[in-house]
Amino acid sequence: MERLTPLLEQYQRIKSRYKDAILLFRIGDFYEMFFDDAKQASRLLGVVLTAKSIGKNNRVPLAGIPHRAAESYIQKLIQAGLKVAICEQLEDAEKTKVIVKRDVVEVITPGTILRPSLLQESKNLFLAAVCLANDVIGLALCDLTTGDFTVGETDLAKLNEEIRRLEIKEIIVPASLIEAFNKKIESSSVTAVDDYNFIYEVAYRKMKEHFQVVTLEGFGIEKKKIAIQSGGALIAYLEENQRS
């Protein structure tokens, strides 16, 4: 196999950190997508699928969208239930003799949309985290557009009622339980995250740090262990995807 160009090597390094997202890789006035991302985006967005030569007999699938028109394309990807990672140029290409530094500055998921052009003004945008212990479900809810954050405990029937009532756009669950939850949860967008974020001690510490408190007793959830697990995991997910 032909060696990748320095640009594609950079792309692969960044893409390896966002394997579950469509990576929009900024090159000048365009966001480019390569390999499987290019094929998937071409089908969903109706953009032309081309190829980039990297040797005598090797061509890498390529699709691109104009930077100025990116919002409408991102909206289509989100509506399809996908994540989108926005990778920008971090320095002026004309001022460097080597490859331009790039990195992901934002990850947009169905439940973490903050761009006004992608929001519906009359609707809340709820993101949820759920975990399970002894038939009790820990539920954490957040609406980034209003700042509302709620945690509690419920059961499966009431969880699905809440999903329908609130039109929850995305639900994060422990990766080890993704198959079980896919069968139980009435949602088109279920995201698996590292089980580590749902560990009680980790989640408890995350919530304390975020709300800058010594204990969670003042919120009335000190003894609601599984609710805390969901709440801490939700905050960790937001910190990872919304770096601002």
Query: Residue 94's pLDDT is what?
Result: 74
* Closest among 54, 61, 50 to 2, alpha carbons compared: 54
Per-residue three-class SS string for 19-45 = CCEEEEEEECCEEEEEHHHHHHHHHHH
DSSP 56: S
Q: What is the pLDDT of residues 35-48, one digit of tens each?
A: 999 999 999 999 99
Query: Residue 114's pLDDT is what?
Result: 64
* Closest among 168, 239, 163 to 197, alpha carbons compared: 239
Query: Residue 243's pLDDT is what?
Result: 59
* Closest among 205, 189, 203 to 234, alpha carbons compared: 203
Q: What is the pLDDT of residues 171-181, one digit of tens each?
A: 999 999 888 77
C-alpha separations of 147 from 46, 112, 144 in Å: 35, 12, 5
Displacement of CA 101 from its chain's centroid (Å): 22
Enclosing H/E stretch for 184? helix 178-184
Residues with Cβ within 8 Å of 58's Cβ and at least 6 positions away in sequence, in order, are: 1, 2
Counting as low any pLDDT under 50, the low residues of the chain are none
